[in-house]
Structure 1
Amino acid sequence: MTATAVDTASTTGRSADLPRTPREKSRARRDARSAWTLLGPSLIILGVMIGYPAVIMVVQSFTDYTVKNKVLGTPANFVWFENYIALFSESDFPAVLMRSLGLMVVLTVLNMLVGTLVAILMTRLSRAWRITVSVGLLLAWAMPALTATVVWGWIFDTQYGVVNWVLNTITGTSDWTNHSWLLNPWSFYLVLTIIVVWQSVPFVAFTTYAALGQVPGEVLEAASLDGATGVKRFYLVVFPYLRSVLTVVLVLQIIWNLRIFTQVYALQSRGGIAAETNVLGTYLFRQGVGEFGATSAIGVVMVILLLALSWGYVRTTLKEEEL
C-alpha cells in the first residue's frame, strides 16, 4: 500500500482500496449538492455579468452588425474573419497594439522597481517617517485617475504650468514659455508615465511591504553573519519569500497597464494628438460609432492578449495547488 493510501486509510479508518459504503456515497452526494448550492448564486452572477456579454462579443465580431441593424431591427450578416483581417491590414491597430505593449512594459518595470524600492525603504525608516510615507502613498493611491490627470495636466500646462516656470528659472531663459508637453508623442508619454507610476507605485509598495514582514528575522541575521551583502541577501534570501506575491502583483500590473484608458483620454483632451497617442482602450473607444462588429473584434483580440499574458501565472498557480 502506498504512502498516500496509508494516510487515507489512517484518516478514514478503513482501507482506501475498499469501495465506499452507501452511507459514504450519500454523504459525498450531499456535500456536492451543498457545494453547488453555495456556488450557484456566484456562478449565475458571473454568467450573466461576464459570460453572456463575452459570448455576444465573440459572435458579433464575426458579423457586420452596426447601429443601423439595431435601429431597423434587421439581422446582421456573418462576414466571418473579415473584421479581423481588416483590423490588422486596413487600420492603425497594429501600430496601436505595439505602442500599447511598449508602454505596458515601461510602466510595469517602473512600477515594480520603484514600488519594491519604496517598500524596502519603509522597512528601514523610523515609525514616524514610515507613517508619513504611508499617508503620502495613500493620498496618491486614493486620488481618482481623472482627478490626478487634471492636476498633473495643470502642472505641465503650456501657459500656467509649474514645470515650464521652473525650467525657465533654472535656465535663466524664456525658452520654455508656452512649451507644449502634449503635442509631441514622446513628451506626451513622458507625462503619462509620470501620472501612472505616481498612482500605481503605492499598491506595489504596500503589497511588497506586507510581504517583507513575513521574512523571518533570524534568516536575515544568519545571512548577515555569513557575510552576504544587501543585494545578495535580497536576491537569495528575501526574494524567495516574495516570489509568489510579486508574481501576482506583476500580472495585475500587466493587465492594468494594458487596459489604461482614463489618463490617456484626459491628456488627449488637453492637447494630445489622438491619432499619434492612442492606446488599445482609447483606440477602441474612438472607433466608428455603432460599428459593433469591428469594435467587437478589437475587444476579442484584447481579451486573448490579456489571457495570453496572464496564462503563465494561472499555470503556475494550478501547479502549486496540485502539490
Structure 2
Amino acid sequence: MSAADTTTPAKVPPPRQAPPPAAWDRPRRPRGSGGAATPWLLLAPCLLVLALVMAYPLVRLVTLSFQKFGQPQLWGFQGATWVGFANFRAVLGDGEFWAVVLRTLVFAAGAVLLTMVLGMAVALLLQRVSPWMKTLVNIVLVASWGMPVIVATTVFKWLFDSDYGILNALLSKLPGVHMIGHNWFASGPQGLAVIMLLVVWGAVPFVVITLGAGLTQVPKELEEAARLDGAGAWGVFRYVTLPILKPIIVMLTTLSVIWDMGVFPQVFVMRGGHPEAEFQVLNTYSYDRAFQVNDYAQGSAIALLTVVLLLGVVAVYMRQMLKIGDVE
C-alpha cells in the first residue's frame, strides 16, 4: 500500500446555509390627511353640482305630486293643499295614461332594437373597409351625432313634408308609386315611425363608435381558432365576438332605453308644439297635463311615475352587470 493510500482524506466542510432572506419592505400608506376621505373630497365638486341641479327639482317634483296645485296655487290666490295619493289614483285610473305608457314602451322598444341592429351592422362593416374610408365614415357619424336635436328635427320635418318633402318626390319617381301630397302624419303609427327614424338616426353614431372601440379588443387569435374549428362568419360572431361585447351591448341597450323612453323634443317639435293624442308619449303627456291642462300636480305625478319606470330599467342593468362580473 502506498503512502498516498494511507493518508486520511480531508474533511469537506458542510455547506453554509444561506442567510434567511430579509423580509420585503411593504409600502406603507402614508399617515396624515387623506385616507378614506380623499375619494369623497375629489367627488365633492361633482356631488355638489348634482345636488344643485337635480336635488331641488326632484324634491319639488315629489312634493307637487302629493299636492293639489293648479293655476290658483301658481298665482298665489290659494295655498297648495296635500291630497296624498289622490293624483296617483287619478292618473293610474285613467285609461289614456295606460295607452300612453303602452305607446311609449312600443316606441322605445322599436327604436332601441333598430338602433342596436343598425349600429352593430355598421360597426362590423367598418372593420372591413380601408382606413381612410373608416376615418371618413367616423367623421360623418360624429358630425351627425353632434347636430342639435332641434336642427335634426327640422330637417326631418322638411324631408317628410307632404307638399315639399324630398322623400315623397323621390318615391314618386318609382314605377307605379304616387306619393306627392302624402301626409306621413295623418295617422299615429306612420308619424311615430318617422319620429322613430329621427331618434335612431341620432342614436346610431354613438352606438357605432362605442361598438367599434369594443371590436378592437376582440382577440384575433380567438376568431382564427374558431374559423379553424369550422365556424362560419355567424358562428364567429355568435360564440366569439358577441360574448366579448356583451358588457358594452348591455350598457348601450340600457342607455338607449332610458333615452328613447324620455324622448321629448323630437315629438314636440315635429308636431308643432301640440302633439295629437295618437302622438303622445310619457314626457309630452306629462308636459301637456301640466302646462296645457294647467294641472301641475298630475303632471308631476306622471313625471314621477316615469322616473320609477326608468329606475326599473336601471335596476335590470345593474343586475346584468353584476352577473357579468360574477362570471368573469
Shorter-chain TM-score range: 0.7 to 0.9
Alpha-carbon distance change, 39 to 138 in structure 1, aligned in 2, over 3 angstroms: closer
Alpha-carbon distance change, 53 to 12 in structure 1, aligned in 2, over 3 angstroms: farther
Q: For residue 265 of structure 1, what is the aligned residue in structure 2? A: 268
The amino acid across from 2:278 in the alignment is E
| Post-superposition offset of 1:189 | 1.5
2:230 to 227, 230, 240: 227
**Runs of 4+ off more than 4 Å:** 10-13, 26-30, 318-323
| Post-superposition offset of 1:118 | 0.4
2:35 to 4, 24, 31: 31
Matched, 1:114 2:118: yes
Q: Distance in 2 between matches of 1:316 and 1:11?
A: 41
The amino acid across from 2:174 in the alignment is I
Q: Distance in 1 between matches of 2:296 and 2:188?
A: 29
Matched, 1:276 2:278: yes
Q: What percent of counterpart residues are identical? A: 33
The amino acid across from 1:225 in the alignment is L
The amino acid across from 1:129 in the alignment is M
2:311 to 282, 307, 313: 307
Mapping for residues 32-51 of structure 1, pairs under 5 Å:
32-51=36-55
| Post-superposition offset of 1:52 | 2.6
Alpha-carbon distance change, 69 to 226 in structure 1, aligned in 2, over 3 angstroms: same
Q: For residue 18 of structure 1, what is the aligned residue in structure 2? A: none
Helix, strand or coil: the match of 2:75? helix
The amino acid across from 2:220 in the alignment is G
Alpha-carbon distance change, 85 to 226 in structure 1, aligned in 2, over 3 angstroms: same
Gaps of 5+ in 1: 1-9, 14-22
Gaps of 5+ in 2: 1-22
Matched, 1:200 2:200: no
Q: For residue 238 of structure 1, what is the aligned residue in structure 2? A: 241
Moved more, 237-246 or 161-170: 161-170
Alpha-carbon distance change, 69 to 154 in structure 1, aligned in 2, over 3 angstroms: same
1:124 to 118, 123, 128: 128
Number of aligned positions between the proteins: 303
Matched, 1:286 2:288: yes
| Post-superposition offset of 1:177 | 2.5
- Contact 1:146–1:266 (CA under 8 A) maintained in structure 2: yes
The amino acid across from 2:267 in the alignment is V
**Structure whose CA Rg is larger:** 2
Alpha-carbon distance change, 95 to 221 in structure 1, aligned in 2, over 3 angstroms: same
| Post-superposition offset of 1:35 | 3.2
Alpha-carbon distance change, 12 to 262 in structure 1, aligned in 2, over 3 angstroms: farther
Q: Distance in 2 between matches of 1:307 and 1:297?
A: 15
Q: Distance in 1 between matches of 2:59 and 2:24?
A: 45
- Contact 2:158–2:164 (CA under 8 A) maintained in structure 1: yes
| Post-superposition offset of 1:44 | 2.5
- Contact 2:275–2:284 (CA under 8 A) maintained in structure 1: no
Give per-residue Cα distances to partners, 1:20-51, cap 9 Å, x unaligned: xxx99x94984123333333333232222222
- Contact 2:247–2:321 (CA under 8 A) maintained in structure 1: no
The structure whose residues are more often helix, as a share, is 1
The amino acid across from 2:91 in the alignment is L
Mapping for residues 105-254 of structure 1, pairs under 5 Å:
105-172=109-176, 175-254=178-257
- Contact 1:182–1:267 (CA under 8 A) maintained in structure 2: no
Q: For residue 19 of structure 1, what is the aligned residue in structure 2? A: none
Helix, strand or coil: the match of 1:246? helix
RMSD after superposition: 2.7
Q: Distance in 2 between matches of 1:48 and 1:136?
A: 36
The amino acid across from 1:302 in the alignment is T
Moved more, 67-76 or 189-198: 67-76
Alpha-carbon distance change, 30 to 141 in structure 1, aligned in 2, over 3 angstroms: closer
